[in-house]
């Protein structure tokens, strides 16, 4: 099971949909950030979430993608539900 896809209700079965963040404060609020430089869109290091109420954000040359505040709360709620199911033995883990 792709846990992130389950938690964000992605519905895509692509096995490559795994995400690993080293900054837990922004782990889902910002998942990709790009900057337009000389007519090209280039990946750049994440900055602070530009607007928690939008999934796609733009500020000048910066384009940012991430989950909205209520989506992050939904992930947390589903994670708690999943952990309860694991603890109850209803989900097989290995």
User: What confidence score (pLDDT) does residue 8 get?
Assistant: 73
Cβ contacts of residue 23 below 8 Å, gap of 6+?
46
Read off the pLDDT of residues 27-84 as tens digits, 9 standing for 90 and up: 789 999 999 999 999 999 999 999 999 999 999 999 999 999 899 889 889 989 999 9
Prediction pTM value:
0.65
User: What confidence score (pLDDT) does residue 51 get?
Assistant: 95
- Give me the residues paired with residue 59 across strands: 62
Beta strands in the chain (DSSP E): 32-37, 40-43, 56-59, 62-65
Q: Flag whether pLDDT at 1 surpasses 80.
A: no
Q: What is the pairing mode between strands 40-43 and 32-37?
A: antiparallel
User: What confidence score (pLDDT) does residue 48 get?
Assistant: 92
- Number of helical (H) and strand (E) elements in the chain, helices listed first: 2, 4
């Amino acid at each position: 099971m792709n846990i992130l896809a389950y938690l964000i209700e992605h519905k895509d079965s692509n096995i490559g949909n795994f995400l690993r963040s080293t900054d837990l404060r922004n782990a889902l609020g910002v998942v990709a950030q790009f900057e337009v430089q000389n007519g090209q869109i280039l990946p750049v290091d994440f900055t602070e979430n530009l607007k928690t109420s939008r999934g796609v954000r733009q500020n000048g040359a910066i384009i940012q993608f991430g989950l909205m505040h209520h989506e992050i709360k939904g992930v947390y709620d589903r994670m708690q539900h999943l952990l309860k199911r694991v603890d109850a033995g209803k989900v097989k883990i290995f």
